[in-house]
A and B are shown apart, each in its own frame.
Chain A
Amino acid sequence: TQLLEQSPQFLSIQEGENLTVYCNSSSVFSSLQWYRQEPGEGPVLLVTVVTGGEVKKLKRLTFQFGDARKDSSLHITAAQTGDTGLYLCAGTDYGGSQGNLIFGKGTKLSVKP
């Protein structure tokens, strides 16, 4: 069974600080997605990473996919209160035909003013 472990589970920081959250697995994934979810809403896609070692930047967010395609990280520079939310990583089953996503439990980020 493929599992994704996210750490930390909870993170509370002050506005302006930097942070990194991690998504790890012992399994290889053909791709990983990062989503942000607010209470009572569905996950909103931030990025998809496909190539091992890939780095993608989205304004103050930097996403990295591990060389072996087993792990990923999300780095936020100069966090803002609007970054508050649940960050979920999700992997597509490597070589599977279903295409369903396997999710981690998420990192709940709180950015205080």
Chain B
Amino acid sequence: DTGVSQDPRHKITKRGQNVTFRCDPISEHNRLYWYRQTLGQGPEFLTYFQNEAQLEKSRLLSDRFSAERPKGSFSTLEIQRTEQGDSAMYLCASSLVHADTQYFGPGTRLTVL
């Protein structure tokens, strides 16, 4: 078990550019979550998948944010037309269905210049 992995670990981009992050969950986990963490705050829930179905997306911060999990394995989070306020740590977590415990990846640190 290699744990949850995320790529890239760091991303620096200019305002207005699009960025995409990848998350590979623990292999047997059906659920995959995305969170955002800003400085001095705890992680904030964005969206989640059960297998390939996106079951909650109302918490995505704006219509510039979208996520996919096409084959029920890895997931991508895309931010279009990035803004400086998007600078944050983006965290992915996975769990078994109906399990309370979530396991987090190392995160992707986004800096928008």
Residue numbers of A with Cβ under 8 A of B are 4, 30-31, 33, 35, 40-45, 48, 50, 88, 90, 92, 98-106
In the complex, the number of residue pairs spanning A and B with C-beta atoms less than 8 Å apart equals 65
Docked Cα-Cα span, A100 to B104, in Å, equals: 13
Check if A99 sits within 8 Å of B48, measured CB to CB: yes
Contacts of A45 in B (CB 8 A): 101-104
B43 to chain A, nearest CB (A): 5
Give 6 new A-B contacts, CB below 8 A, not counting A30-B100, A43-B104: A33-B102, A41-B107, A42-B106, A99-B95, A101-B93, A103-B43
Picked from A33, A35, A50, A100, the residue with its CB within 8 Å of the CB of B33 is A100
Check if B100 sits within 8 Å of A99, measured CB to CB: yes
Question: Is B31's beta carbon under 8 Å from chain A?
Answer: yes
